[in-house]
Amino acid sequence: MCGIIGYAGHKSAANVVVAGLKRLEYRGYDSAGIALLNGGGSLLTVKTPGKVTELEAELGAMLAEKTEAGKSGLAIGHTRWATHGEPTQLNAHPHLSPNGNFAIAHNGIIENYLAIRDRLISKGHEFRSETDSETIAHLIEEAYEGDLQAAVVTALKQLEGTYGVIVISAMHPDTLVAARSGSPIAIGIGDGETLIASDVSALISHTKRVVYLDDGDVVTVTPDNFDIVSLKDVPVTRGATEIDWDIEEIEKGGFEHFMLKEIYEQPAALTNALRGRLVHKDQTTKLSGMQMGPADLAHIDRFIIAACGTSLYAGMVGKYYLEDFASIPTDVLQAAEFRDRNPIIQRDSCMLAISQSGETADTLAALREAIRKGATVMGLCNVVGSTIAREAGRGVYLHAGPEIGVASTKSFTCQVAVLAMMSVLLGRTRRLSAEAASRMIAELARLPELAQAVIDQEPSILSIAEKYAHCEHAFFIGRGYMYPAVLEGALKLKEISYIHAEGYHAAELKHGPIALLNEDIPVIVAVPESAGKAKTIGNMQECRARKSPVIAIATEGDTDIAAHCDDLITVPRCQEFLAPIPVVIAEQLFAYHVARLRGCEIDQPKNLAKSVTVE
Ligand code: M6R
C-alpha cells in the first residue's frame, strides 16, 4: 500500500527520497511524489501518476533548473495506492497547504474528511485534490502559530480514522514531523541524518538503528535528534532496535523477479524458521516467543485463527495440524469476518493472528477485538517489530527474511512449518506420543531438502506452463491437506497472471463448478500420496470426461497417477501433513512461469499491495 519516506540530513534529500521510494515500490502503488525545500524558503512538489522512474525523470528535469532545491537536505516522498480519487497527478501526495508553506504525505484513511473539508470550504479554503489526505495540510496551516509540532498535533486531534503522516514546512528547513495512528512509522537514526519511513526497507541502506512509533506518538526530527511526544504533549521514550538483515536481502541478486528469488530462498528460509526449534532429544519443539510453559499450553482449549489471503490458507493448514496432532478444536476465519461477526471468545480460547507483514488492517483489527474480549492472543508474523507482533506481545516469528514480491511465497511455507511446530508442542502437552512427535520432527527437519527438490523441477514446470499460459480460466482441486494448498495455488495464479483461477475441494467440483469445464479450462489437481488419493483420482477422471486437461501434482514414483492426467509435476515423497509445502512450491513456480510468459508485472501486480493497510 502507500509508502512514506522523509529525510533530514546533509545529503541531497531528493536523491535519498527517490531511492527510498524505489525501495517502497514493492508495497504496490499507482502514483508517486516528492516535496522538498526550494532555495528561497518555499516548498516544491513534483508528482506523477505511474512509476517512481517517471517521477525521477520529471524531478531530474526540474532540478536541472532549480539547482538550490537539488542541494536541499529536507524532503518527503510518497507512493500512493489510490483510495479517495483516481491515481492522478493532483491526487498524488505530498499535498501542499493553501499557502504552500506545509507539505504532507499520508498513509491511511481519514474517515471524517468530508465534514472537515466542508467546514474549511465554508471558510474559503480551496482544495486541489479529491483526497481525504489534503485536509491534513489545510488543518496544519490553520493551526500554525510558529510551532510546527504544535500545529500538527492540533490538526491530528481533529481527525478520525487512521494515519501515518509526515510533514515539512518551508519555515522549518531542518525539521520533519511525523505521527502514527494505525499506520506504521519508523525513525532511522543515522550519523548527522535522520530518516522517517513507513517501512524499514526504505531506511536500511542508511542505518540499521530504528525506533518504531506507537499509535498516538508524534515525533519531531532534525538531522541530529528526535523527540517523541504523545498527542497530549507528554514526552514519550521509545527504545531503538537494530535491524538484523542486510540490504542484499532486499535486492534481486541476479534473479529476474523478487518472486522467483523468494521461491528459491525457501530452503534457506525454512532452515531459518526451524533453527533451534526442533528438540529431537525431548521429542518436542521449542517456540520461546509463545512465552508459555506446559501448564499454560495445556489450558488452551480452542484456537481461533484470523488472517487474510495466503496467510489465511496457511491458517487452514494450521487448523488441520492443531486438530489432528494437538486435538484442539480450531476455527479459521477471514480476519474481517472475525471482527464483524462479534465472535464468542471463551476463557481458554487463544487467538492466533497470522500475517507476513504484521500490518494487515483486517488482521490487526481482529487481534485488537480479541484483546478487547480478553482472549489470550499470539501473532505469527514475519516482519520483526511489526504492529501485530508488538500488539500481540507474544507469538512466533517466521525468520523467513524480507519478502518483497507482492505474491507471498516463502512466508506461506514458513507459516506452515511454524504451525506444524506449534502443533507438536501443544500435542505433547496432550496425547501426541513421543514416537509420533519424533517422526514429525524428523520430517520437519527434511523441509529444506524437500523444498529444494521441487525447485530443481523448475525446467519441467516451465514446459508445462508454456502449454497452458494462453488459458483464461483454471481450476485447482484437492482434498484434506491439499484443500488449502489448492486454494493457495489458485490465488497465486490469479494474482500474478490475471487468469481467472478457482480453488475447490475436489469433492465440491461436481456440486456446480463442473458445469464450466471444457477443453480450454485446465484443472490442476494436487494428489500426492494421502488417504484421499483414490477419491481424487476419481475426480480427475470426472474432469477428463468433460475434456478438461488435467495437470497432476503427485508424489515422485507414484505409478497410479500418470494414466489419469495430461501433465505431471512431481514432488518428493514426505509424510502427508507436510505435503502442502512441496505442493505449494510447485504451484508457485507454475504461476510464476505462466505470468512471465504472459508478460505480467510479477512483483507488483495491478491493483495489489504487499501490505494491505486499509480495511
Ligand atoms: O501480510 P499478510 O500476510 O497479513 O498479508 C495477507 C494478504 O494480503 C496476502 O497474503 C496476499 O493475499 C498475498 N498477496 C498473496 O500472495
Distance CA 540, CA 520 (A): 16
**Percentage of the chain with pLDDT > 90?**
86
Q: How many CB atoms lie under 10 A from the CB of residue 400?
A: 27
Residue 605: what pLDDT? 87
Alpha helices in 429-481 (DSSP H): 434-445, 447-455, 458-468
pLDDT at position 615 over 80: no
The SS3 call for residue 228 is: strand
With cut-offs at 50, 70 and 90, classify the pLDDT of residue 248: confident
With cut-offs at 50, 70 and 90, classify the pLDDT of residue 182: confident
Kindly give the pairing relationship between strand 550-555 and strand 567-571: parallel
Residue 403: what pLDDT? 92
| Whole-model pTM over 0.95 | no
Residue 433: what pLDDT? 97
pLDDT at position 28 over 80: no
Closest CA to 66 of 42, 49, 50: 42
Task: Tell which CATH architecture fits domain 3-243.
Answer: 4-Layer Sandwich (3.60)
386 lines ligand 1 (CB under 6 A): no
Q: Looking at ligand 1, which residue's alpha carbon is closest to its atom 11?
A: 309
The SS3 call for residue 431 is: coil
With cut-offs at 50, 70 and 90, classify the pLDDT of residue 384: confident
b/e for 523-551, b at 16 or more Cβ within 10 A? Answer: bbbbbbbbebbeebbebbebbbeeebbbb
Residue 73: what pLDDT? 95
pLDDT at position 39 over 90: no
CB 444 within 8 A of CB 284: no
Residue 344: what pLDDT? 87
308 lines ligand 1 (CB under 6 A): yes
Our mutation pick for probing the ligand 1 site, out of 257, 262, 356, counting the most ligand atoms within 8 A of Cβ, is: 356
369 lines ligand 1 (CB under 6 A): no
Distance CA 365, CA 589 (A): 33
502 lines ligand 1 (CB under 6 A): no
pLDDT at position 554 over 90: yes
**Percentage of the chain with pLDDT > 70?**
100
Distance CA 524, CA 521 (A): 10
- Identify the weakest region by mean pLDDT among 71-85, 141-155, 265-279: 71-85
Residue 253: what pLDDT? 79
The SS3 call for residue 360 is: coil
199 lines ligand 1 (CB under 6 A): no
pLDDT at position 219 over 90: yes
Fold of 251-445: Rossmann fold (3.40.50)
With cut-offs at 50, 70 and 90, classify the pLDDT of residue 68: confident
pLDDT at position 130 over 90: yes
Ligand 1 centroid to Cα of residue 264, in Å, is: 19
Q: Which atom of ligand 1 is nearest to the CA of 388?
A: 4
- C-alpha separations of 464 from 108, 461, 468, 473, 582 in Å: 42, 5, 7, 16, 17
Alpha helices in 456-532 (DSSP H): 458-468, 482-497
Give the residue-averaged pLDDT of 201-213: 94
- Report the mean per-residue pLDDT for the chain: 94
With cut-offs at 50, 70 and 90, classify the pLDDT of residue 463: very high
Residue 263: what pLDDT? 98
pLDDT at position 2 over 90: no
The dotted CATH code for 454-602 is 3.40.50.10490
Residue 11: what pLDDT? 94
Q: Which atom of ligand 1 is nearest to the CA of 310?
A: 10
Q: What is the pLDDT of residues 101-113, one digit of tens each?
A: 999 999 998 999 9
pLDDT at position 589 over 90: yes
Kindly give the pairing relationship between strand 523-526 and strand 550-555: parallel
Residue 613: what pLDDT? 76
- Identify the bridge partners of residue 475 per DSSP, sorted by sequence position: 502, 523
Residue 188: what pLDDT? 97
Ligand 1 centroid to Cα of residue 56, in Å, is: 29
Ligand 1 centroid to Cα of residue 491, in Å, is: 10
495 lines ligand 1 (CB under 6 A): yes
- Active site amino acids: 2, 610
CB 303 within 8 A of CB 332: no
Kindly report, as residue ranges, where domains of CATH 3.60.20.10 are found in the chain: 3-243
With cut-offs at 50, 70 and 90, classify the pLDDT of residue 611: confident
Ligand 1 centroid to Cα of residue 221, in Å, is: 32
pLDDT at position 523 over 80: yes
Kindly report, as residue ranges, where domains of CATH 3.40.50.10490 are found in the chain: 251-445, 454-602
Closest CA to 498 of 609, 594, 612: 594
Ligand 1 centroid to Cα of residue 308, in Å, is: 6
604 lines ligand 1 (CB under 6 A): no
With cut-offs at 50, 70 and 90, classify the pLDDT of residue 252: confident
Q: Looking at ligand 1, which residue's alpha carbon is closest to its atom 14?
A: 407
Percentage helix, strand, coil for the chain under 3-state DSSP, each rounded to 5:
40, 25, 35
Ligand 1 centroid to Cα of residue 611, in Å, is: 7
E strands, 170-259, where?
176-181, 186-189, 194-197, 209-212, 217-222, 225-230, 235-236, 241-242
Residue 346: what pLDDT? 86
310 lines ligand 1 (CB under 6 A): yes
